[in-house]
Amino acid sequence: MNYRDEFRDRKIVQGLAQRIATLAQGKGPFTFMEVCGTHTMAIYQYGLRQLMPPEVRLISGPGCPVCVTHNGYLDRALALCRLPDVIITTFGDMLRVPGSTSSLMHERARGGDIRIVYSPLDAVQVAVQNPGKKVVFLGVGFETTAPTIAGSILTAAKLGLKNYFVLASHKTMPTPMALLSADPELSLSGYICPAHVSAIIGAHAYQPLVDQFRIPCVVTGFEPTDVMQGIEMLVRQAVAGDARVEIQYSRVVSWEGNPKAQQVLAEVFTPCDADWRGIGTLPGSGLKIADRYAAFDAERALAVEVEPLKEHQGCLCGEILKGKVNPSDCPLFGKACTPENPVGACMVSSEGSCAAAHKYQ
């Protein structure tokens, strides 16, 4: 027993597929949306769509943090990395994301000092080791990554560092789900709610969605048996006409979430309006660095001229992020837009819908 293979057990998955088919037979159609990039990947990677009966449709929502990051953010990061005394530190997924006219990958090839790190604390180390440089960490992600980035700011403050900065573009989850729930074009039957975001914010965060839109919400883990069981719970609710928050991923997620992480978030960040690529500005759907930590905020502390915004024409990223069209419906998919030469962010991130579809379909 290694606590991994058990969650990838073929018999259990096939059994759940059978149960889903039996439950849904002659009912529906049901459309369930996942709003976490890791779910998008798991569904493609294990070929779970093929295990669904015709009554059940799975669509992907705005769950990839790289994909929903606005072009303007990238342009600011690119402008910063062209400054002579700046080191950009980032998670690897940001490297290929196209800004208006360039990407970090291209800037690195031209000599920009851009370093991939696996943890924001590694970025703090880079700042310690390079006192003569300004080290900027690209803080992108949902509530899963935000606490560790908040932790890096607290660590830098404790160390008295004056050369560590975060360019923050954090998004928070339930807000876009409300927008999509109200969309008559989508008519969603339920949400496969994010796993690790929910570990931080707690499953109670989805209760307002249930109350307002009567939409089933099941917090689901990332392993194939998790996803299948989550879908089974959704089908069960949908067939019965129920709408509740349920936790499939109970080995990690609680109703209240992680109070320590929430406390760190509240200490370092404050809620703000955020620009979502393809969706627009959503009030209160982002996190910005609180005034008391303004010295660590790259946007406020480092002055730089940012090039004018240029949106990519013909890219259906926005509609894809809302689950309204499939990646292969985009006229650019696989032609002008490929993982090697991405036009839209959904093709860049390893967790983007288009990248997943291109890799696994």
Residues in contact with another protein by the rule CB under 8 A: 2, 4, 8-10, 13-14, 36-38, 41, 44-51, 65-66, 91-96, 98, 101-103, 105-106, 108-110, 116-118, 122, 125, 140-142, 144-145, 196, 224-225, 228, 338-341, 349-351, 355, 358-361
Q: In whole angstroms, give the CA distance from residue 135 to residue 127.
A: 5
Q: Which helix (H) or strand (E) holds 235?
A: helix 224-240
Identity of the residue, 173 or 210, whose beta carbon is nearer to another protein in the bound complex: 173
Supply 248's token pair. Answer: 């499939």
Identity of the residue, 201 or 210, whose beta carbon is nearer to another protein in the bound complex: 201
Identity of the residue, 91 or 293, whose beta carbon is nearer to another protein in the bound complex: 91
How many CA atoms does the CB half-sphere of 211 hold within 13 Å?
5
Q: Do residues 249 and 195 make contact, with C-beta atoms less than 8 angstroms apart? A: yes
Give the length of the chain.
Answer: 361
Determine the longest span between alpha carbons in the chain, in angstroms.
Answer: 68
Q: Smallest distance from the beta carbon of 205 to another protein, in angstroms?
A: 16
Supply 280's token pair. Answer: 């627009």
Q: Smallest distance from the beta carbon of 263 to another protein, in angstroms?
A: 20
Identity of the residue, 167 or 210, whose beta carbon is nearer to another protein in the bound complex: 167
- Could you count the other beta carbons within 10 Å of the beta carbon of residue 268? 25
Q: Do residues 195 and 253 make contact, with C-beta atoms less than 8 angstroms apart? A: yes
Smallest Cα–Cα separation from 152: which of 353, 252, 296, 292? 296
Identity of the residue, 143 or 246, whose beta carbon is nearer to another protein in the bound complex: 143
Q: Do residues 119 and 151 make contact, with C-beta atoms less than 8 angstroms apart? A: no
Q: Smallest distance from the beta carbon of 17 to another protein, in angstroms?
A: 8
Q: In whole angstroms, give the CA distance from residue 109 to residue 50.
A: 41
Q: Smallest distance from the beta carbon of 260 to another protein, in angstroms?
A: 19
Identity of the residue, 258 or 349, whose beta carbon is nearer to another protein in the bound complex: 349
Q: Smallest distance from the beta carbon of 95 to another protein, in angstroms?
A: 7
Contacts of 286 (CB under 8 A, 6+ apart): 169, 170, 171, 172, 271, 272, 273, 274
Identity of the residue, 25 or 45, whose beta carbon is nearer to another protein in the bound complex: 45
Smallest Cα–Cα separation from 33: which of 179, 150, 249, 168? 179
Identity of the residue, 105 or 301, whose beta carbon is nearer to another protein in the bound complex: 105
Q: Smallest distance from the beta carbon of 319 to another protein, in angstroms?
A: 23
Identity of the residue, 261 or 355, whose beta carbon is nearer to another protein in the bound complex: 355
Q: Smallest distance from the beta carbon of 38 to another protein, in angstroms?
A: 7
Q: Smallest distance from the beta carbon of 202 to another protein, in angstroms?
A: 17
Q: In whole angstroms, give the CA distance from residue 216 to residue 242.
A: 7
Supply 101's token pair. Answer: 């006219």
Q: Smallest distance from the beta carbon of 190 to another protein, in angstroms?
A: 21
Q: In whole angstroms, give the CA distance from residue 208 to residue 235.
A: 20
Return the amino acid letter for 31.
T
Q: In whole angstroms, give the CA distance from residue 61 to residue 191.
A: 10
* DSSP symbol at 220: -
